[in-house]
Structures are given as C-alpha cells and as structure tokens.
C-alpha cells in the first residue's frame, strides 16, 4: 500500500517569496491534515480536511497561509509571503474517518526561509 | 482548547533500564489518547492508543494507561533497548479526530 506522498522534499526561499507544498494521501482516506513542526517542537495542526471540507483551521495564519483540497483527494498548502519564522518541516497526514483513527504521516517538506 | 503537556527531555538511559515519560492533558469531553514515535530519519508513526478511561494501550513492550482522574497518559517500558532511541510524542484527539501533539521527548538509550 502506498503511503502519504509529499513534495518537494526540501525548499529554500527568501523571505517575502511564496511557496507551495503538495500532498497525496493514502487512497480511501477521507481526512487530511497539514502540520507545521518547528525544530525541537511537536507538530502543530494547521488545518484538517474531511473530504474537501474544512474541519478545523483555527491555528492556520490565514493572512499568509492557505490550503485547498480539490475533489477531496490531493491537497496544496501555500505560504505567501513567507517569513523567517515559517522555517519548519511541513507534514501532511491522512486517516480514515472516525473518532480515534490513527494518522499516517508523509516524510514532510523541510522549508528554509532566508 | 485541547492540549497536551509532556515531560521535557532529553532522557538518557542505559540499556535494560525502566522508562517513564510523563504526559498530562487538558480537554473538554472525553478525548482519545495516543503515543506516536519518530525514529531517526523516519516519519511519525503510531505506537499505541487508548480511547476511554482506564484503557491500557500497549505495543512493543510499551504501555500507557488512560487515567481520567489525573488527566494523564504516562508511557512506560520495563526494559529499554538501544533500538528504542527516538522522539516520543503524546497526543490527543476529540470526536473530530483533530490530533494535537505535545512537544516531544527525545530518548537516547546507551549500550
């Protein structure tokens, strides 16, 4: 079974530039998550989708971050414009629908903002 | 809102030592509780979970018991191995399965 796919694996940009990350979840997983993991910290939930609807985006900095999940499958997370403090690993995860379903994580995209 | 607090690391133990990593939570309602592990160079993966009070999750010799009265979910292992060296994350989710993670505890086991 294929896992959660993310790209790119690494990205280096200058502050004020824009960047986009792509995620393809495990087939059949209706729930998709984007997390931000700053070095030395735990993953912080940015946004959770169920199919193509948003379940929770309370911690998404909406002035600069946006995410979409068209057709309830792939998802894109965008940052525009990027700030130095956005340097982090961006993790995508997916799960089946349910109260206590485990999350399957991708390898992440490591973003460095210079 | 829901949150998890876990003991700060790093934790360094000798092989065969007893391990405890403390985790407490704040939540409205009745969350499910999880421990995830991140081995060096790998992604996060589920270690164990418990979905209601007094449940015990277990896997690979690790155990954790859901204690509602103390809002805790401490991770334990009786005899750690070098291969257990990793970062351990406590997490909780509510009915929408919006998983919230603690800061992580780095464990290093020395031979």
- Give the one of A99, A101, A105 whose C-beta lies nearest to B44's C-beta: A105
> What's the token pair of residue B8?
């700060």
Contact A100/B96, CB-based, under 8 Å?
Answer: no
**Measured between beta carbons, which residues in chain A are less than 8 angstroms from residue B88?**
none
CB of A35 closer than 8 Å to CB of A27? no
How many contacts, defined by CB atoms under 8 Å, are there between A and B? Answer: 62
Nearest to A56 among B4, B51, B96 (CB): B96
Contact indicator for A46, A109 with CB cutoff of 8 Å: no
Q: What sign does the dihedral B32-A105-A11-B41 (CA atoms) show?
A: positive
Specify the pLDDT at position A76: 97
* Residue A83 Cα, gap to closest chain B Cα (Å): 22
A19-70 pLDDT tens trace: 999 999 999 999 999 999 999 899 999 999 999 899 999 999 999 999 999 8
CA distance A48 to A54: 6
What distance in Å separates residue B46's CA from the closest CA in chain A?
7
Chain A residues with CB-CB distance to B103 below 8 A? 40-42
Higher-confidence residue: B5 or A2?
B5
Q: How far is B97 from chain A (nearest CA, A)?
A: 5
pLDDT score of A3: 92
Omega of the bond leading into A11 within 30 degrees of 0 (cis): no
pLDDT at site A74: 95
What pLDDT score was predicted for residue A101? 87
Task: List average pLDDT for each run of 10 residues in chain B, which is 111 residues long.
Answer: 89 97 92 95 93 96 96 97 97 88 96 94
Provide the pLDDT for residue A33: 96
Nearest to A87 by CA among A109, A64, A60, A106: A109
Burial A18-46 (b: 16+ CB within 10 A, else e): ebebebbbbeebbbbbbbbbeeeebbebb
What pLDDT is recorded for position A26? 95
DSSP designation for B44: -
A84-110, pLDDT tens digit by residue?
999 999 999 999 988 788 999 999 999
Q: Is B82 on the interface with A (CB under 8 A)?
A: no
B74 neighbors B52 (Cβ within 8 angstroms): no
Closest residue by Cα to residue A109 from A15, A2, A12: A12
Sheet strands (E) in A1-114: 5-7, 10-13, 19-24, 31-37, 44-50, 53-56, 65-68, 75-79, 88-95, 104-105, 109-113
CA distance A90 to chain B (A): 12
CA closest to B48 among chain A residues: A102
| pLDDT given for residue A1 in this prediction | 64
């Amino acid at each position: 079974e294929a896992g959660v796919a993310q790209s790119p694996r690494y990205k280096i940009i200058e502050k004020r530039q824009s960047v986009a990350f792509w995620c393809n979840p495990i087939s059949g997983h209706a729930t998709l998550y984007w997390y931000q993991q700053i070095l030395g910290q735990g993953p912080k939930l940015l946004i959770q989708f169920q199919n193509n609807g948003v379940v929770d985006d309370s911690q998404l900095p909406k002035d600069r971050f946006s995410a979409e999940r068209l057709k309830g499958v792939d998802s894109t997370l965008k940052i525009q414009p990027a700030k130095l403090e956005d340097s982090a690993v961006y993790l995508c995860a997916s799960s089946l629908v349910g109260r206590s379903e485990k999350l399957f994580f991708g390898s992440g995209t490591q973003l460095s903002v210079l | 809102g829901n949150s998890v607090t876990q003991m700060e690391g790093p934790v360094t133990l000798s092989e065969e030592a007893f391990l405890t990593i403390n985790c407490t939570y704040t939540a409205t309602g009745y969350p499910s509780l999880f421990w995830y592990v991140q081995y060096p160079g790998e992604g996060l993966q589920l270690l164990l979970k418990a979905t209601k009070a007094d449940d015990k999750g277990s896997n690979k010799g690790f155990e954790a018991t859901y204690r509602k009265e103390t809002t805790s979910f401490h991770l334990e292992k009786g005899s750690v191995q070098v291969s257990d060296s990793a970062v351990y994350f406590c997490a909780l989710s509510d009915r929408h399965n919006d998983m919230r993670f603690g800061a992580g505890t780095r464990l290093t086991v020395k031979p």
